[in-house]
Chains A and B, each alone.
Chain A
Amino acid sequence: MQVFKGIKIVNGIAIGKIKIYKVPVYEIKEDLISDIAGELDRFEAARVKVQDQQNALAEQEVKDGREETAGIFEAHALMLDDDDLIDSCKELIGEGHTAEFAVRKGFEAAAEMFRNMDDPYFQARSADVIDLKNSMLDVLFGNDTESLQGKEPAILVAEDMAPSETVKLDKSLLLGLVTRLGSSNSHTAILARSMNLPTLIQCPDIADDWDGKFAILDGYNSCIYIEPEQEIIDKLTAKQKEDREKEAKLQELKGKPSVTKDGQKVRLYANIGGPKDINAVIENDAEGVGLFRSEFVYLNSKTDPSEDEQFAAYKKVLEALAPRLVIIRTCDIGADKTIDYMNLDKEDNPALGFRAVRICLSRPDFFKRQLRALLRASAFGNLGIMFPMIISKWEVQECKKILNECKEELVKEGVAIGKYEIGIMIETPAAALCADDLAEEVDFFSLGTNDLTQYTCAIDRQSANLERFADTHHPAVLRLIRETIEAGHRHNTWVGICGELGADPTLTETFLSMGVDELSVNPKSILPLRGNVRNVDLSGVKKNNNPEPKSESEVKEVKSEVKSEPAKGFWGRLFS
Chain B
Amino acid sequence: MKEFKYVITDPVGIHARPAGLLVKEAKNFKSVATFIKGDKSAKATALMKLMGMGIVQGDEVTVRVEGEDEEACAAAIEKFLKENF
Contacts and interface: CB of A to CB of B under 8 A. Distances in A.
Interface stretch (A121-129, A191-199, A430-438): A121-129
Interface string A235-274: 0000000000000000000000000000000000000001
B57 A300 contact: yes
Given A74-B17, A81-B47, A303 B58 contact: yes
Contacts of B49: 84
Nearest to A274: B11
A125 B51 contact: yes
Interface string B4-25: 0001010111011101110110
A125 B16 contact: yes
A118 interface: yes
Interface residues of A, number: 36
A345 interface: no
Interface range on chain B (Cβ under 8 Å from partner): 20 to 34
A312 B82 contact: yes
Contact of B54 (A117, A274, A302): A117
B45 interface: yes
Contacts of A117: 52, 54
Nearest to B59: A302
A459 interface: no
A351 interface: no
Contacts of B20: 74-75, 77-79, 81
B77 interface: no
B56 interface: yes
Interface string B39-51: 0000001111101
Contacts of A302: 58
A280 interface: no
A313 B9 contact: yes
B29 to A, nearest CB: 15
A296 B11 CA distance: 9
A306 interface: yes
Contacts of B58: 300-303, 305
Contacts of B19: 75, 78
Contacts of A128: 16
Contact of B46 (A84, A113, A121): A84
Interface of B: 7, 9, 11-13, 15-17, 19-21, 23-24, 45-49, 51-52, 54, 56-58, 82
- Counting from the closest, the 7 A-B pairs by CB-CB distance are A78-B20, A75-B16, A309-B9, A71-B17, A302-B58, A75-B17, A301-B58
